[in-house]
Amino acid sequence: MTTATSTRIFSGIQPSGIVHLGNDLGAIQNYVKLQDEYEAIYCIVDYHALTSTHDPNLLRERTRDMAASLLALGLDPERCTLFVQSHRPEHTELAWLLATVTPVSWLERTPTYKEKRETQPDDVNHGLLTYPVLQAADIVMYKATVVPVGRDQAAHLELSREIVRAFNHRYGNTFPEPKAVFTEAPTVLGTDGVRKMSKSVGNTIDVLAPPQVIREEVVSMVTDTQRIKRTDPGRPEVCNVCQLHRFFGEDYLEIQDGERTARTGCVDTKRLLADRIVAHYAPARERYLELMAKPALVDEILAAGAARLAPIAAATMAEVREKMGLR
Ligand code: TYM
């Protein structure tokens, strides 16, 4: 970590059980890059995950798994702070306090809430509605100003800014307004080529999975749906496989040209992409397997991260309680 006066960044990720290409290209690669430029804090948001995951053992397992994945993909506990949200329970207290400045109407119009009402209609729990308030609490607890995320989190970040403004307006200037930052791939489409890559849709490429799984996922990808025959010219600008090649080699323009002129077929282009993704993530997969074999080490890193943040969380909570009139 750099000095306390440098800009602080914060981001969170759910312990979903997998890390997919969207998570890595859209967010984690920025976490890794920015840990050298800022004082970086990264959080595995298990409280948020409770809105959808109700099996305690599974949640525990996935939390450690996500920590091992992030470390394997390049987070360095010497250069950033990695912790589990529930290890700093102040997050839930601050979420309650922020909830009292947040109109219900703001939460009801959140796109992810509307989406969840559709995808888990039998479990529209209150946590789903309050989800963005807890997210705002995560960020402002550390007065972070920069938040690396994928585009799907932009609405949540806008809501965090509105909550900050509402709080500062009522109780005096307390929190800075956080700003989202994106990578070159803010929205990665899934293997269906239509929807955002997402575990709940089931259209993912799981970057730390065994090579055979990655290959199957990549080969299942939908390409240019108008290219019916091998000899038809392709449209690389609408083909998700061609677009993803951008991130796995300098020669992507040549690959796109091959598709456009029908010099190459979709299957060739997919096999090449699968080879490149497997090769790119092979060292991370090795580190991931090593870390999963040393659970005590992973737990130690997470405990140290939460302990390091204790004084910052305590200072924020003291300031907020004082300003709000809590004794
Ligand atoms: P989560 O766990 O859904 O996703 C983690 C990160 O991955 C990004 N991402 C994508 N980026 C590009 N293309 C995709 N297909 C794609 N899918 C996921 C997400 O944008 C995110 O950056 N609500 C958050 C977690 C959170 C948080 C926070 C984030 C809780 N508190 C505070 C920032 C700050 C979430 O569920 O992310």
Summarised one tens digit per residue, pLDDT across range 219-240 is 999 998 888 888 888 899 999 9
Would residue 3 count as lying in a domain?
no
Proportion of the chain above pLDDT 70, given as a percent: 98
187 C-beta closer than 6 A to ligand 1 = yes
Q: Provide the token pair at 158.
A: 């806008």
Going by C-alpha positions, the residue among 221, 209, 190 that lies closest to residue 278 is: 209
Catalytic position from the list 33, 114, 143, 199: 199
Instruction: Average the pLDDT over each of 25-34, 53-62, 136-145, 255-264 and give the range with the smallest value.
Output: 255-264
pTM: 0.96
The answer as to whether 205 is a domain residue is no
User: Which atom of ligand 1 is least distant from the CA of 14?
Assistant: 2
CATH number of the domain that 72 lies in? 3.40.50.620
Could you tell which of 32, 42, 149, 188 is best to mutate to test the pocket of ligand 1, judged by most ligand atoms within 8 Å of the CB? Answer: 149
Co-location of 16 and 96 in the same domain: yes
Q: What one-letter code names the amino acid at 285?
A: R
* Residue 15 near ligand 1, beta carbon < 6 Å: no
8 Å CB contact between 147 and 179: yes
Under DSSP, the state recorded for 138 is H
pLDDT at 247 over 60: yes
Is 102 near ligand 1, meaning CB less than 6 Å away?
no
Query: What's at 252, amino acid-wise?
Result: Y
User: Is 2 within a domain?
Assistant: no
> Are 162 and 53 contained in the same domain?
yes
**Ligand 1 and 19: CB distance under 6 A:** no
The rounded percent of the chain whose pLDDT value lies above 90 is: 94
User: What Cα–Cα distance (Å) separates residue 304 from each residue in 2, 87, 93, 298?
Assistant: 17, 10, 22, 10
Whether the predicted pLDDT of 59 surpasses 60: yes
Assess whether 93 and 125 both reside in one domain.
Answer: yes
- Residue 5 pLDDT class (50, 70, 90 cuts): very low
Q: Does 160 contact ligand 1 (Cβ within 6 A)? A: no
The sheet carrying 39-44 orders its strands as 80-84, 39-44, 8-13, 146-148, 179-181
Containing structural domain, residue 220: 211-280
Residues 231 and 85 in one domain: no
Is position 206 within any domain? no
For ligand 1, atom 37: residue with the closest CA: 13
For residue 130, tell me if it sits in a domain: yes
Residue 22 lies in a domain: yes
Q: Which is the closest atom of ligand 1 to the Cα of 152?
A: 20
pLDDT of residue 233: 87
Beta bridge partners of 19: none
Does the beta carbon of 153 sit less than 6 angstroms from any atom of ligand 1? yes
| Same domain assignment for residues 102 and 247 | no
Domain contains 196: no
| Alpha helices, DSSP H, located in the chain | 21-23, 29-34, 46-49, 56-72, 90-99, 104-108, 111-119, 126-141, 154-171, 211-219, 240-245, 252-260, 266-292, 295-324
Residue 182 and residue 90 share a domain: yes
Count of domains for the chain: 2
Q: Which of 237, 208, 211, 210 is nearest to 224 (CA)?
A: 237
Same domain, 152 and 185: yes
Tokens of 269: 């282009």
From residue 93, give the alpha-carbon distance in Å to each of 62, 143, 319.
Answer: 24, 16, 13
d(CA 46, CA 148): 19
User: 32 and 127 share a domain?
Assistant: yes
143 noted as active-site residue = no
**Residue 228 belongs to a domain with what CATH number?**
1.10.240.10
Ligand 1 centre and the CA of 179: distance in Å? 14
- The amino acid sitting at 153 is Q
Residue 259 in contact with residue 231, Cβ under 8 Å?
Answer: no
CA dist., res. 120 & res. 132, Å (int): 17
Active site residue 196: yes
Q: Which ligand 1 atom is the nearest neighbour of the CA of 136? A: 32
In this structure, the answer to whether residues 89 and 50 fall within a common structural domain is yes
Distance of CA 13 from the midpoint of ligand 1 (Å): 6
Asked if 78 and 164 sit in the same domain, the reply is: yes
| pLDDT for residue 3 is more than 60 | no
Cβ of 45 closer than 6 Å to ligand 1, yes or no, is yes
Residues 266, 163, single domain; the answer is no
Query: In terms of Cα–Cα distance, which of 255, 250, 251 is closest to 239?
Result: 255
Residue whose Cα lies nearest atom 31 of ligand 1: it is 135
Q: How far is the CA of 112 from the centre of ligand 1 (A)?
A: 11
Burial annotation 134-158 (CB, 10 A radius, 16+ → b, else e): bbbbbbbbbbbbbbbbbebbebbbe
**Ligand 1 centroid – CA 166 distance (Å):** 24
d(CA 303, CA 288): 19
Does residue 134 sit in the same domain as residue 179? Answer: yes
Q: How far apart are CA 26 and CA 3, in angstroms?
A: 27
Out of 143, 196, 229, 270, the active site residue is 196
125 lies in some domain? yes
pLDDT at residue 4 is higher than 70 = no
For position 6, what pLDDT does the model report? 63
Q: Is 179 a catalytic residue?
A: no
What's the chain's average pLDDT?
96
